Amino acid sequence: MAQNASDYSNDSFQLYDLRVEVVCPPNERIQCGARHGDSFTLQGEMLYLPPDQGFSIYSLGAVLPLLAAKQRVTHPNDWMTTDAEIACPDPNCKSRLKITRMGLRTFRHSEVTVVPLVKQD
């Protein structure tokens, strides 16, 4: 029988904050408009850029599908745990996008959705 979320005393879960940073090899021409060290952070669902810094939408498009998975705790042997660099989507650009897991942040299910928790039997 399903159980309503109000019966749960703890509806919390944790996600990693992430930092995504551009890594450019020395003396290489970078096509995407990025500079070595350009970055953004992801905290929960919120993406933050440093003041006066942009980020290519094409580079963002390459890394975006991986961010939700990188935020979650994964098995130590999972490639999502160990692999951290994504190639620039421009095949002529040598830059990479490095995803670094930062500290864990705690969220509550009841604060991020209106869909109730239902205990599975």
* pLDDT tens profile 56-111: 888 899 999 999 999 999 999 999 999 999 998 888 888 999 999 999 988 887 77
Secondary element (H or E) of residue 16: strand 12-23
Nearest CA to 84 among 98, 67, 70? Answer: 98
Contact yes or no for 22/100 (Cβ under 8 A): no
Q: Looking at residue 33, what is its pLDDT? A: 79
Residues 51-59, mean pLDDT to the nearest whole number = 89
Query: For 16, what's the count of Cα atoms within 13 Å in the CB-facing half-sphere?
Result: 18
Confidence band of 2 (pLDDT split at 50, 70, 90): very low
Q: What is the pTM of this model?
A: 0.81
Q: Looking at residue 121, what is its pLDDT? A: 66
